Amino acid sequence: MTTINLPTPEGLRPFTVSPPRLFDTALPPYPRVAFAAAHVVADTLAEQDPWLDAKVDWDRTIAFRKHLWSLGLAVAEAMDTAQRGMGLDWNAAQQLIRLSLDAARDHPGAVIASGAGTDHLAPGPDVTVDDVIQAYEEQCEAVEAMGGRIILMASRALAKAAKSPGDYERVYARILGAVKQPVIIHWLGEMFDPALEGYWGNHDHMAAMETALAVIHAHADKVDGVKISLLDDQKEIAMRRRLPAAVRMYTGDDFNYAELIAGDEHGYSDALLGIFDPIAPAVGGALASLAKNDLSTFHEILAPTVPLSRHIFKAPTRFYKTGVVFMAWLNGHQDHFVMVGGQQSTRSIQHFSELFRLADAAGLLADPEQAAHRMRTLLALHGVG
């Protein structure tokens, strides 16, 4: 057994790493659609200004997508988990989408959808709603030209330019009317991105929901589903029960996903989650259990992942990507713990130490000796001997 001294609020304490859990998985179809929003691997050897440039190790980044597909998960590409808008710009996102789509074509059964938004349009007082429409059209057309399926991302520029809920209705009507196939609408809450405060034209989520639902009902034939990331299960359930019959609810609730996916007598949520990136093996095992109507094992597998997820996504929630990449490093999916934009610096050594303990409790440290060695390296860099 491997033991490591980890910081706690009371000082260093020995911690013995457990053997990894081997999850029984199965090939899809699963009883739920499960998208993992995937991270990107930084290229540490590229000449760059780390806070300003987005240099990506494309080979390792695409290899991780293949890992997710091998577990039966779908990939949500170029989303906020890939540091979209926090280091990854639209030019890099286009290359990422193109490479991922190429890889998906060579991977039988691979499912992928890609983020299209307005992040190449900087919000500002001179930006109009028509400018936002044009920016959305540009990105949607680019994704469709590559043969991709669209996840319609929330727009910082729209949140700044819109004067009323009617402006949101006009923008979404224009975009949904033009897309070639149904999209997933992404409502990202302000806890993930403060610039999206008041999205859908209202600071009250329930009032904002009325506008979102009006858009979805008016264009149900162009909406595959809606992903809401508000970290509030009751708001998600309330919206889920009011969706058109053919429109899916994709949970974006990284705090309450297990119960939302399991569902109730009125329905259930599918999933599009950033936490599915680091806990993918457990998700595969849980969905395989659900396919056998084994709810007990489904919950038993996911239960210990929830404290891990709540820790990774703790406030400031927008820094959750750091925990996602940390897990990828611990588990050997990349050789370093460096992120695009220098985002590895957004969490403390106490945070990483607790994350390590929670990942162990969930059975998600694939190679305990490797994980412990890498954790000791990080501790040493923080002056912890």
What pLDDT shows up at residue 49? 86
Rounded to 5°, angle at Cα 35 from 30 and 39:
140
Is there a domain that residue 124 lies in?
yes
Helix then strand then coil, % of the chain, to nearest 5? 45, 15, 40
Q: How crowded is residue 108: how many other Cβ atoms within 10 Å of its Cβ?
A: 7
What pLDDT shows up at residue 246? 97
Is there a domain that residue 143 lies in?
yes
Is there a domain that residue 356 lies in?
no
- Sequence letter at residue 227: K
Strand partners, 75: 36, 112
What pLDDT shows up at residue 3? 95
- Tokens of residue 369, six digits: 């000796």
* C-alpha to C-alpha distance for 294 and 354, rounded to whole angstroms: 31
What pLDDT shows up at residue 162? 98
Is there a domain that residue 362 lies in?
no
What pLDDT shows up at residue 160? 98
Task: Identify the CATH number of the domain in which residue 305 sits.
Answer: 3.20.20.70
For residue range 4-39, what is the model confidence (pLDDT) as tens digits? 999 999 999 999 999 999 998 777 789 999 999 999
Is there a domain that residue 346 lies in?
yes
Choose among 286, 323, 281: nearest CA to 302. Answer: 286
Q: Which residues of the chain fall short of a pLDDT of 70?
A: none
> With b meaning 16 or more CB within 10 Å and e meaning fewer, what string describes 273-286?
bbbbbbbbbbbbbb
Domain with 170, as residue range(s), is 24-351
* C-alpha to C-alpha distance for 20 and 115, rounded to whole angstroms: 33
**How many folded domains does the chain comprise?**
1
DSSP class per residue in 208-257:
HHHHHHHHHHHTGGGEEEEEEE-S-HHHHHHHHTTS-TTPEEEE--TTTH
Is there a domain that residue 7 lies in?
no
Is there a domain that residue 249 lies in?
yes
Who's near 300: CB < 8 A, 6+ residues apart? none
How many CA atoms does the CB half-sphere of 309 hold within 13 Å? Answer: 23
Rounded to 5°, angle at Cα 231 from 29 and 137:
70
Is there a domain that residue 131 lies in?
yes
Phi first, then psi: what are they for 279, rounded to 5°?
Answer: -110, 25
- Sequence letter at residue 44: T
- Tokens of residue 104, six digits: 């998906």
Task: Quote the pTM value.
Answer: 0.96
DSSP class per residue in 324-359:
HHHHHHHTTSSS----GGGGGGGS-HHHHHHHHHHH
* C-alpha to C-alpha distance for 126 and 122, rounded to whole angstroms: 10
* C-alpha to C-alpha distance for 246 and 251, rounded to whole angstroms: 16
What pLDDT shows up at residue 28? 78
